[in-house]
Amino acid sequence: MKRVITYGTFDVLHYGHINLLKRAKELGDYLIVGLSSDEFNLIKNKKSFYSYEERKNLLESIRYVDLIIPENNWEQKPSDIQEYKADIFVMGDDWKGKFDYLKKYCEVIYLPRTPEVSSTQTKEYLSTTF
């Protein structure tokens, strides 16, 4: 069984997220998603619209996702890869090169982002429209 792991906040879920998860799942048999905790988002200076539990519930409803684990810090990725026996680490290409250090644990793949969609744009639009 080939295992794939990815990480993210997945706030204000949109079709770009779904595309990433679908393409990640197509690379293997089992998709693990490291979901940024609310506490970790604060460290990253991010404020999520939805809480960790709400975002987790949304991700659990997506057929491509097999397991969700909490992401609590930047440093946990190597131990997660080893613990969950991940063969491939996947991130959007906006992170290209940032996780190359993980190549000693597994294959690292940066997938192209879905053009013209982002959580930041969606949040900005919603804040000015409603």
Q: Which residue among the candidates 22, 25, 44, 85 is catalytic per the annotation?
A: 44
Is 2 a known active-site residue?
no
For the beta sheet containing 107-111, the strands, ordered from the edge strand earlier in sequence to the opposite edge, are 67-71, 30-36, 3-8, 88-92, 107-111
Q: How far is CA 27 from CA 35, 90, 106, 126, in A?
A: 19, 9, 13, 34
Beta bridge partners of 8: 35
- Give CA separation, 74 vs 23, 26, 71, 122, in Å: 23, 25, 8, 25
96 is catalytic: no
Please tell me which residue in 2, 46, 85, 96 is annotated as part of the active site: 46
Provide the 3-class DSSP secondary structure of residue 12: coil
Active site residue ranges = 44, 46
